[in-house]
Structure 1
Amino acid sequence: MKKAAMIVLAVLLVAAGVYAVYRTQEKDVVATVNGEKITKEEFYEALVENSGDLVLDQLVSLMIVTQEAKKQGINVTDADVEARIEQIIQEEYYGSKEFFEQALLQSGWTEETLKKNLLIDMMLTEMVRKKTEVTEEEVEQYFAENRADFDIPHQVNVRHILVDTEEVAREVLKKLEQGGDFTALAKEYSRDPGTAEKGGELGFVGKDELVAEFAEAAFAAPVGLIKEPVESVYGYHIIEVLAIQEHREVEFAEVKDDVREALINEKVQEKLYEEFTTLRQNAKVETML
């Protein structure tokens, strides 16, 4: 449902820019056909004719959510949105801003578009969260049904140096074998922007958080052994495992707060689209397009 709510609000984020350009650069040419010009004015007239209702509907939706957030005293700041983006980069893109920006480019989104979508999503989430309660019995039942999700997973504390070619990887490996400092070499050679300045350290990670080739090598290595270069889609990794954490089952008392938070988050996500739909139905909207 979360994705549905965001999709409903997505395209409007470029609409304001579209109309601003329309006003200020009406005679600019967007294409020529056998020497005959198609102007931006003609282009945007066609855009309004074909998509105007959709764009207007989405602009209305944006205003509805923003107005309700103000009414409820909900304030999502730019810093909040930036923090959420950083969380996405760390969790989904191995801490790499470069990989994150590549994914944005491939999706056709800009970072500004993403920020505005996240702003809407975060406001809706806070609205629903304020109304969401769970009982002690619900929390205990949720733990019983999802116990494996709260176990301490098998993880490794690992660091790596990522380079583009096997030749460079072996050059770095040789320096390490001759007593070179891993942290210093990571800062000098690694092209992983998320870890290079931290000496290549990823911290404790599970298999599902790593690209397959990296995970296979890291989880097979003993502590302290620097692996032969491992190739992945990102390049060549020189890997060192610093510590190993074995899988461990936990008791409810150990993770009670985490379970409660997980249950609340699940309920919130289930109700996001319903919240948006209710706001839309209760709003007084007049259109003149």
Structure 2
Amino acid sequence: MSKIIAGIALAALLLLPTLPSHAAQVIDGIAATVNEDIITKLEVDREYTQLLKEAEKLPASEKMGLKSAALSRLVDKRLIEQKIKELDIKVSDEEVKAAIDDVRRQNNNMTQAQLAQALAAQGTTFEQYKAQLKEQLERLRLMSQEVRSKIQVGDRELREYYDANRTRYGADEQYRARHIFFKLDKNPTAETLAKAESQANEVLKQAKEGKDFAELAKKYSSDPNAAKDGGDLGTFKRSDMVAEIGDTVAAMKPGEISPVVMSPAGLHIIKLEEKTVSAGKPFDDVKSEIEDILYKKKSDERFAQWVKDLRSSAAIEIKQ
């Protein structure tokens, strides 16, 4: 339990809405019923306000439909609350206190008075916060019992993720490539650009047809060294090159020839000869970190499906 508690950030906890008792809200109008519980319009308005805060930096086009999303989120919350009661999931006062202590430690060892002050700035009392935290811990315990305990992450999955994300763990991808370069002035005329593109596309066609790339570079490239090295760019990292070339090479497989690429210097046709990855951190050193990532991903997916199944078996009536 302590491991779960330790992962709870203060900011996330402060976002949990404080919901008055259902009986006191009936006069506000009913927005929906979930089995025998009601969701009032006031609750929907409060949840909508919270969603607006969370989405304040998003463009206006992505804020459409937030009112419906607020009601949907409340339906899910109500279903989860009902399941917690059904399974008789309890969180003790001692566990809540331990969670609060962990939150204070994670926030520069703030005192309880400082925590209360931070909560007040958010419009929340300390008692409301304790109640919200208890609900959050109940949800985490429910998720652990109903979802996480049924998830497994195999060694093969861990290894596949590691191999696909080596650069995330300190490995460097290095490339060996050749290019055929068609130099352009800083501000070429439309006619000059069109002529260069036409020539580049003709050379690209020859390269795609299987003609020797190095020989094509010797014949057509504006790079003065190409006559000797056949357009060899040597071995480099993605960041060593201008973005247009680095990004292109990073998306290629050895042996592939790129389309015509424009950089500030001109036009390029690139052939990736080889791609290598340096060692980086050993698999055993990052195995537990990868396991946490995959475990969370599977948990989120399974939890979403679990809530969807709850919805399908519940009596839900939307009044709005």
Tell me which interval the TM-score lies in, with the shorter structure as reference length.
Answer: 0.3 to 0.5
Task: Report the TM-score, using the length of structure 2 for normalisation.
Answer: 0.37
Bigger radius of gyration among the two: 2
